[in-house]
């Protein structure tokens, strides 16, 4: 299988005057082209920091990340053209309409006007927002915002989609719709990487799952293999087995 | 109620504007609006060789206003200077006032005739001018009761307090508006996560700052034009100078204010923190920089505080251009200081933005 993201010895240390926090501690893994890759871990495990480093938002303290053959340290602007990021917060401008939010993103990614208009119409229809395209997003429900947020991230047709907790706080219907959307993008050949706290989601959607704990990568395999290795019936059991029952702050 | 007090005193940044600023404001306004000025730079052009003018000069040199420990005038002496040369000294802000004593001053007094002395003042500062003229009349009346005529030519037309106020209020408005709206844009976008989305596109952080800066420059210049036109139409405010120079001052000043807005907001975790921290910087500018009163009317230690605040130089440059109608040479000093301030604060802002956002 072709590797699309290669993480080697990745480390992130956050330093303040008095403290030093090792958020990510020498982790290495590969993500293959066209797979759905899940990252799970308790609070403070380092998955969000790893996610932020892979998406070029945070600079690593050590190690390296190659995204689609490009180095995050040196070629971050080129990488950003190839990836789409759906942030955990909906991150939409409330005083712009749905269409204007999409146009803004299209312009920032330099999508040609005609192509951008075609994509906006197509995606708005795909996520059932066509009739709301000229409404300010400030009045949208959580589900509508999440659907719009997703298409804002893919308006430039990225080959890799990073998705931070895609279904947190959504109703079952919207969650189903988001899963279908993820599957559709994956069928189109896009690689999907997402973080989640829902084990069921990781089990159902992901080809492979990385489990992180205290900044380290403690397991990486298919959901089936993870369950088999731990003699567990669910991914949640595997998760608790590997990361412990202690509640994290 | 106890909960409210606990929350209030745990936000120390909020306590400062709540309790400290009103006290500082009372002190500054108390001195600033106190009706006296001191250490006024006065040039005496004494063309008279007689003894009577020496008595007048001595009287002026030792005059101490009521409720003050300082002399009112810092006097420099010269002779053989024309009125237009003296006006240039006022225009360039070298002196706040010039008193021209005519060559026949002592002679006319000796002959029981009325000599005429001319007082030129920096009338862009209407408050100080009023106090200086009133004091001069008193001193002349005391020196030779009912005999000396005081002429005060209008250098920049007939001016009112609103003429003094308007240029500085425009600079203040631009400063407040820029810091607050840039800050809200950055802190707000940070809070709702939109800035993260933008920073994940191929657009660089530098381009994000550039876009926000250009937006503010256009917005603030438009506001300034509207404010000046409104002041002219409603109050008949004087606009003796070049609109382009006003634009130049405001562009340089706005540039720094954008930097301040970005720096404060990038350091703030949310909108509330931004509001509280920004007040620490914006409020002192309002009452300590001579927007509402001349800096000559406050004690030296307060004036030094004013000299540390960029708005002081923007106010000065705006008044020199709008009221005195002077060119770029007259505001070069102010512009250089504003430019240095803007470059420093903007560079710091970019560093903070890159590190924190």
Least confident of A67-81, A146-160, B140-154: B140-154
Three-state SS for B201-227 is CCCCHHHHHHHHHHHHHHHHHHHHHHH
Task: Residue A86: list chain B partners with CB under 8 A.
Answer: none
**Nearest CB to A87; choose among B196, B203, B204:** B196
CATH number of B40-151: 3.40.1710.10
pLDDT of residue A9: 96
Q: Give residues with Cβ within 8 angstroms of B1, minimum separation 6.
A: none
Per-window interface: A 29-68 vs B, CB < 8 A? 55-57
**Nearest CB to B202; choose among A80, A93, A94:** A80
Q: How far, in whole angstroms, is CA B127 from its chain's centroid?
A: 13
pLDDT of residue B85: 92
| Residue among A218, A219, A200, A213 at smallest CA distance from A248 | A213
- Are A108 and B203 a contacting pair at CB < 8 A? yes
Q: Give the mean model confidence (pLDDT) for residues A72-80.
A: 92
Task: Choose, out of A58, A59, A67, A80, the residue to mutate when testing the contact with B (most B CBs < 10 Å).
Answer: A80
Using CA atoms, how far apart are residues A43 and B32, in angstroms rounded to an integer? 57
pLDDT at A36 exceeding the cut of 90: yes
Q: Give the mean model confidence (pLDDT) for residues A144-161.
A: 94
Using CA atoms, how far apart are residues A64 and B73, in angstroms rounded to an integer? 70
- Are A80 and B193 a contacting pair at CB < 8 A? no
- Give the minimum alpha-carbon distance from B331 to chain A in angstroms, rounded to a whole number: 41
- Are A87 and B193 a contacting pair at CB < 8 A? yes
Using CA atoms, how far apart are residues B319 and B5, in angstroms rounded to an integer? 44
Q: Give the mean model confidence (pLDDT) for residues A90-117.
A: 95
- Are B197 and A87 a contacting pair at CB < 8 A? yes
Residue A152 in contact with partner chain B when CB distance is under 8 A: yes
Domain extents in chain B: 40-151, 161-356
> B170 near B228, Cβ under 8 Å?
yes
- Are A87 and B203 a contacting pair at CB < 8 A? no
Using CA atoms, how far apart are residues B81 and B38, in angstroms rounded to an integer? 25
Q: How many CB atoms lie within 10 A of CB B240?
A: 17
Which SS3 state, helix, strand or coil, does residue A245 take?
A: coil
Q: Which residue of A has its CA nearest to B357?
A: A57
C-alpha angle B270/B271/B277, rounded to 5°? 95
In the predicted model, what is the mean pLDDT of chain A? Answer: 92
Q: Give the mean model confidence (pLDDT) for residues A138-158.
A: 93
> A93 near A140, Cβ under 8 Å?
no
- Give the minimum alpha-carbon distance from B208 to chain A in angstroms, rounded to a whole number: 11
The model's pTM is 0.78
Task: Residue B197: list chain A partners with CB under 8 A.
Answer: 85, 87, 91, 105, 152-153
Task: Residue B185: list chain A partners with CB under 8 A.
Answer: none
pLDDT of residue A128: 92
Using CA atoms, how far apart are residues B357 and B344, in angstroms rounded to an integer? 19
Q: Which residues pair with A192 in a beta bridge?
A: A36, A161
Q: Compute mean pLDDT per 10 residues along chain B, 357 residues long, and list them.
A: 81 72 79 76 90 86 79 88 91 91 89 90 89 90 82 87 92 93 88 87 89 92 93 90 95 94 87 83 84 84 90 95 92 96 93 81
pLDDT of residue B167: 94
- Are B202 and A110 a contacting pair at CB < 8 A? yes
Using CA atoms, how far apart are residues B320 and B241, in angstroms rounded to an integer? 8
Task: Residue A91: list chain B partners with CB under 8 A.
Answer: 192-194, 196-197
**Nearest CB to A109; choose among B196, B199, B202:** B202
Task: Choose, out of B186, B197, B204, the residue to mutate when testing the contact with A (most A CBs < 10 Å).
Answer: B197
pLDDT of residue B11: 72
| Residue among B79, B80, B45 at smallest CA distance from B60 | B45
Copy the structure tokens of residue A76.
Answer: 């971050």
- Are A55 and B193 a contacting pair at CB < 8 A? no
Task: Residue B202: list chain A partners with CB under 8 A.
Answer: 77-78, 80-81, 108-110
**Nearest CB to B200; choose among A80, A90, A93:** A80
Q: Which residue of B has its CA nearest to A154?
A: B201
- Write the CA distances from B186 to A218, A241, B208, B259, B269, integer angstroms: 38, 43, 10, 11, 11
User: What does the pLDDT look like over A156-211, one tens digit per residue?
Assistant: 999 999 999 888 888 888 888 888 999 999 999 999 999 998 888 899 899 999 99
Starting at the earlier edge strand, list the strands of the sheet with A20-32: A20-32, A3-15, A62-67, A70-71
pLDDT at A111 exceeding the cut of 70: yes
| Environment class of B342 (CB within 10 Å of its CB; exposed 0-12, middle 13-18, buried 19+) | buried
**Nearest CB to A109; choose among B192, B196, B201:** B201
Element (H, E) at A30: strand A20-32
Task: Residue B194: list chain A partners with CB under 8 A.
Answer: 91-93
Copy the structure tokens of residue A140.
Answer: 């949208």
**Nearest CB to A108; choose among B192, B193, B201:** B201
pLDDT of residue B13: 66
H-helix segments, B62-160: 83-91, 105-110, 126-143
């Amino acid at each position: 299988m072709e590797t699309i993201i290669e993480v080697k010895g990745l480390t992130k240390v956050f330093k303040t005057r008095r403290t030093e926090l090792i958020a990510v501690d020498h982790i290495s893994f590969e993500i293959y082209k066209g797979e759905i890759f899940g990252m799970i871990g308790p609070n403070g495990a380092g998955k969000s920091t790893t996610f932020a480093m892979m998406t070029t938002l945070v600079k690593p303290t050590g190690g390296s990340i190659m995204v689609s053959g490009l180095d995050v340290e040196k070629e971050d602007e080129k990488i950003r053209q190839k990836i789409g990021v759906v942030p955990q917060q909906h991150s939409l401008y409330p005083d712009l309409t749905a269409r204007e939010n999409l146009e803004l993103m299209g312009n920032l990614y330099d999508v040609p006007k005609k192509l951008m208009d075609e994509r906006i119409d197509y995606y708005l229809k795909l996520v059932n927002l066509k009739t709301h395209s000229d409404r300010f997003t400030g009045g949208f429900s959580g589900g509508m915002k999440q659907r719009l947020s997703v298409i804002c991230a893919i308006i430039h047709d990225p080959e890799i989609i990073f998705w931070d907790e895609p279904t947190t706080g959504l109703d079952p219907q919207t969650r189903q719709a988001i899963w279908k959307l993820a599957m559709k993008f994956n069928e189109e050949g896009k690689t999907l990487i997402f973080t989640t706290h829902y084990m069921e989601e990781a089990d159902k959607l992901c080809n492979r799952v990385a489990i992180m704990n205290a900044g380290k990568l403690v397991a990486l395999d298919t959901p089936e293999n993870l369950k088999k290795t731990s003699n567990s019936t669910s991914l949640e059991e595997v998760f608790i087995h590997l990361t412990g029952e202690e509640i994290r702050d | 109620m106890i909960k409210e007090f606990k929350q209030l005193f745990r936000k120390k940044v909020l306590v400062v504007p709540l309790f400290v600023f009103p006290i500082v404001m009372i002190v500054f306004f108390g001195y600033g609006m106190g009706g006296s000025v001191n250490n006024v730079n006065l040039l005496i052009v004494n063309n008279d060789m007689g003894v009577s003018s020496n008595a007048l000069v001595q009287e002026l040199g030792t005059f101490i206003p009521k409720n003050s420990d300082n002399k009112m005038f810092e006097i420099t002496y010269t002779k053989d200077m024309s009125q237009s040369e003296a006006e240039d000294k006022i225009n360039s802000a070298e002196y706040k006032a010039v008193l021209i004593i005519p060559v026949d001053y002592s002679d006319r007094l000796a002959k029981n005739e009325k000599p005429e002395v001319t007082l030129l003042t920096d009338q862009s500062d209407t408050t100080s001018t009023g106090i200086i003229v009133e004091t001069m009349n008193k001193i002349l009346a005391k020196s030779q009761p009912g005999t000396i005529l005081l002429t005060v030519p209008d250098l920049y037309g007939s001016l009112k307090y609103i003429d003094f106020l308007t240029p500085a209020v425009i600079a203040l408005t631009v400063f407040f508006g820029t810091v607050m709206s840039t800050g809200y844009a950055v802190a707000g976008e940070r809070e709702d996560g939109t800035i993260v989305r933008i920073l994940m596109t191929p657009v660089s952080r530098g381009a994000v700052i550039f876009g926000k800066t250009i937006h503010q420059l256009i917005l603030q210049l438009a506001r300034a034009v509207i404010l000046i036109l409104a002041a002219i139409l409603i109050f008949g405010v004087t606009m003796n100078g070049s609109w382009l120079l006003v634009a130049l001052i405001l562009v340089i000043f706005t540039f720094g204010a954008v930097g301040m807005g970005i720096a404060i907001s990038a350091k703030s975790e949310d909108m509330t923190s931004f509001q509280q921290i920004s007040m620490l910087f914006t409020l002192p500018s309002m009452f300590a920089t001579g927007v509402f009163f001349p800096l000559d009317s406050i004690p030296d230690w307060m004036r030094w505080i004013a000299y540390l605040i960029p708005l002081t130089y923007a106010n000065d440059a705006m008044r020199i251009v709008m009221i005195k109608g002077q060119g770029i040479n007259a505001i070069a000093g102010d512009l250089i200081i504003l430019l240095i301030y803007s470059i420093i604060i903007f560079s710091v802002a970019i560093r903070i933005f890159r590190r924190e956002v």
